[in-house]
Amino acid sequence: MASNIPDIVISRLPVYLRALERLTQEGHEVTSSLELGKRLGISSAQIRKDLSHFGGFGKQGTGYRIAFLTDQLRQVLKIEREWEVALVGAGDLGNAIAHYRGFADRGFHIACIFDSAPSKIGKQSGGFVIQPMEEIPTIIPQLGIRIAMIAVPAEAAQSVADMLIGCGVKAILNYAPINLKTPLDVHVQYIDPVIHLQRMTFYLNDVS
């Protein structure tokens, strides 16, 4: 199934899922492409087309059963299971990530945290003991971890990524403000707030 779906469609599925989870929290049981579209600023036609890639989840006119569609999307995205994630970097950002409570219900669980600073090793962050970076080649294969988040300075990010990939990591969420060079079978996503801000200033008028 995976091979034929455009990546742009895949990129929208987590957004649909998040909206469905929100609707459930609000007590809804049924929704429509129209309602989802209004919430997300996406056309209802686009939503129906995206979901049609995975077989019809709803019937024309009767809407989507939220619980069913949620389950289906979780299966498509492979998060009906829980994934263990490694976090590298325990500075301000790493700490905030370690304390973030939004992973648990959405398919992810931070299993270990690494840092290179001797002053941090052995301390706690978000309920985890920070481990030395040198333990990565031991711990990550041991736990069978294939997803990692990188929250180290830009200068260190590529060598950390190389080490993680050498240990079998196949998906990296990179918070360091640098593009990583990775093999084709490794997926990388980036979080850099400045990139998002710069993208918006283009549209601001110079009134102030």
Name the residue type at position 180.
Answer: L
**Interface segment toward its own copies; rule CB under 8 A; list 63-71, 112-120, 129-137, 165-173:** 165-173
Which residue in the set 6, 100, 129, 142 belongs to the binding site for its own copies (CB under 8 A)?
100
Residues in the chain: 208
Quick one: tokens of 19?
Answer: 């909206």
- Cβ-in-10-Å burial (0-12, 13-18, 19+) of 33 comes to buried
Contact criterion met (CB below 8 Å) for 43 and 12: no
**Interface segment toward its own copies; rule CB under 8 A; list 45-53, 56-64, 130-138, 181-189:** 181-189
Which conformational region is residue 144 in: left (phi greater than 0), alpha (psi within -120 to 50 degrees), or beta? left
Q: Report the candidate in 165, 86, 154, 156 with the shortest Cα–Cα distance to residue 117.
A: 156
131 versus 182: smaller Cβ distance to its own copies: 182
**Under the criterion CB under 8 A, does residue 10 sit at the interface with its own copies?**
yes
Shortest Cβ 164–its own copies spacing (Å): 13
**Under the criterion CB under 8 A, does residue 95 sit at the interface with its own copies?**
yes
Q: Report the candidate in 83, 152, 78 with the shortest Cα–Cα distance to residue 113.
A: 152
Contact code string over 108-137 relative to its own copies, x by CB under 8 A: x-----------------------------
Shortest Cβ 59–its own copies spacing (Å): 25
61 versus 183: smaller Cβ distance to its own copies: 183
Shortest Cβ 134–its own copies spacing (Å): 23
**Under the criterion CB under 8 A, does residue 196 sit at the interface with its own copies?**
yes
Which residue in the set 62, 92, 127, 183 belongs to the binding site for its own copies (CB under 8 A)?
92
39 versus 65: smaller Cβ distance to its own copies: 39
CA distance 120 to 110: 18
**Under the criterion CB under 8 A, does residue 55 sit at the interface with its own copies?**
no
30 versus 93: smaller Cβ distance to its own copies: 93
Name the residue type at position 134.
Answer: E
**Under the criterion CB under 8 A, does residue 97 sit at the interface with its own copies?**
yes
